[in-house]
Structure 1
Amino acid sequence: MYLHGTSTINEQGHLEIGGCDTVELKEQYGTPLYIMDEQLIRQRCRDYMDAFRATGMEFQVAYASKAFCTMAMCRIVEEEGLSLDVVSEGELHTALQAGFPSARIHFHGNNKTPDELEMALDAEIGCFVVDNFIEMQMLDAIAAEKGLKPGILLRVTPGVEAHTHEFISTGQEDSKFGFDIGNGTAEEAVKLAHKLAHVELLGLHSHIGSQIFEVDGFQVAAQRVADFARQLQQEIGVIFKVINLGGGFGIRYTEEDSPLDTAEYVHAIADAVKQQFAGLEGQLPQIWIEPGRSIVGDAGTTLYTIGTSKDIPNVRKYVAIDGGMTDNPRPALYDAVYEAVLANRADDEATELVSVAGKCCESGDMLIWDIELAEPIAGDLLAVSCTGAYNYSMASNYNRIRRPAVVLVHDGESDLIVERESFEDITRNDVVPARLRSSVSVQR
């Protein structure tokens, strides 16, 4: 397994992350366990900020909190000077509870409810990324009642298909997100927003997909958004102050992945915006981007305990762990592929081909197909790398399995930032109607 960030193998042959022995982490916190490398998270944040400062352009880097959203993560993002994207009232609540500055919060989503719009307006967040006409009109009406005029970006689909999985490609015309440039709805949206009295049109937003390994898509998106901006400037005189080109920057999950350095993405985007917007009136727009996975993805490792196994001669050997699709649904959703190592025997030679199965009652609960490990036995610890993004965020209680704890490691210290769910948490919101209580003895 490729060692990311501060990961090393110590003298005992144990995997260490952030100076913390994973065997000791298991003894203290149990498994499954999400381990987040604080130093690597902060370095990823700084890479983006430093790269943009070098361009000389005005910018905002907004962490896409859907990748991994906890109060501790919001604090790190705030300390590193980034803004924050949220997509729900739950993510907004988390950010506000963490004390994140509301002026640096951007609210995304294709179906924001009236309650969510009110909550965000009351918090006086910095920007709404408006996705459709209904939302725009609701926001204008609610803002009018409150005497507010929030800033908005209009999400447009530029017709760019990123080279990524079809389920995470979002910039093409056939998408649930945004106003389409090609069929004229984006032009109609700009003209409406320009007329409304209780929203301030700041600019345009586009997002072409996720886990992208080249800059071409962003360059084409910048060109199409600039052409669109030029058209609207000529027609109605609107000048866009902000161009948000989204996120989607890829990370290394396996040796087959070849992501670019952060600076390569940033400089390509900045150069494209400079070139494409050079002939338009007014100053160059600010560039906003929204990295999520590329900040936390390879900073996360999930630690499991190996349990049972099943060897089918001439077919395969299944090795089961104490987690699976409940803490990492990405293999089932996206055919995601991961690397792993026996954390308690990280120096041992990988000699046996096995498939790692989860514990859910689903044949599709397979974490890794066909990986070489050092003859795993019951009680060994399996560390799966690059699980920092969309693992905790997508975790579920399927089969009423408790969600794992999350620890933040740094300089040999570990801090619990999300407690492991208890059995009481599992049934906390259950309600037994009175008509059922008389016939069933409910254990307390």
Structure 2
Amino acid sequence: MKTPTEADARAFALRQLRALRHHLTTPSEDETPLLGDSRRRWVRRLPYIVVIALQGSLIPTGIANLVGFYDLVLPVAAALTIAQTTPLFLAVTRPLTAWWISAAAMVATASITARHHQLMGSWPWTAPMIIAYVFLLLALALRESRATVVSVWVATVLLTALTTTLGLPRSGDGTTVLLIALSGAALLLGWAVRDRAVARRLLTEQEHISEAERERRTLLEERARIARELHDVVAHHMSVIAVQAASAPYRITGVPDEAAEEFTAIAGTARESLAEMRRLLGVLRSEESGGEKAPQPGVSQLAQLVETVGRAGVPAQLTVEPDLVDLVPQAVGLSTYRIVQEALANVVRHAPGARTWVSLTADGPALLVTVVNAPPPERTESLEASVEGTGQGLVGMRERVRLVDGRLDTGPLPDGGFKVAAVLPLDRPDTPRETTA
């Protein structure tokens, strides 16, 4: 085992002095006034009220002590007392800077009272000065880090040792011990109060996190409840529609071939709706939709979609540029399908029987999606004419377009028709932002 040498001891002492200097010259970055985070106005003003009260009592008594017991002239006594007590105002926001001023005043006072003393000649500082210094250390301990608090106490011990080199305190005097003890007690008290406040703040933050977790759990439970209700109500009726439509040609005699095909189409549409709803229920029952495994619809499914609305009485025509299907990313393709689906659904609801044109073209790095419908035939009422629209369809389109950083333009045409035009980027990397049906 290597025995420490004198050089090692000097290096260790030098490192400790550097650490002490660093902590004494690096104040806290938080310049919020003491108790400035309180919601109560009177609590925020309390530090200033305490400082004013201390100033009003310590300055007159401090000057009187220096003049009466140390035979100092009034200007010098007033200067020393004010230099020791005024930093209390600065301690509310910058306690470490205030401590440097106060420490310098303490050293200056000790050097002067060492040569001017009468009855209290063995005390390098007056009682008001010690009280002001202790309150300043209390404010410092409430704001600064533990390392800074320890460094300040060590510096206070060194400060009292410096007064000894100036000739004070005299043999048997307890002033040095009193200052060290009071300063240590003030720093320890402020340290404990600050740690308690930090612990309470962390506990409050943990309670907020727990509350957020409870709200999240409540949200998941509500989503599961909605999923159960959708399954119990909507799925039941859709299943009945699918079964009745599929079995109608066999239960009813003499059904024409066209009617049988219509029943078959209704049954197929009901089954597709059930599949879509099952995917939606899967999303509602889980926090994330990452478990969705079924392939999502895209541009290649638009022909089937147009055919479906054609059977619903809306003559629609689809135009897609050749080889465009391979150029569309999955996320853009899904948004395109949903936009066209919602636009055609609006035509079925609000303009039944109107001719509709759907076109997809590439314009450089963008995909142009257009759905235009002509005015509905005369004397044709909207299927939702008696229901006040909510506008959720257009909102959903805008959300789809926003997800892929595109643009949407919708509005009526002069001839009474309606237009939906979207510009979607083709060069956008395929991301998993939108995976739900």
Could you say which structure has the higher helix fraction? 2
Structure showing greater radius of gyration is 2
TM-score scaled by length of structure 2: 0.23
State TM-score, norm by structure 1: 0.23
More strand by share: 1
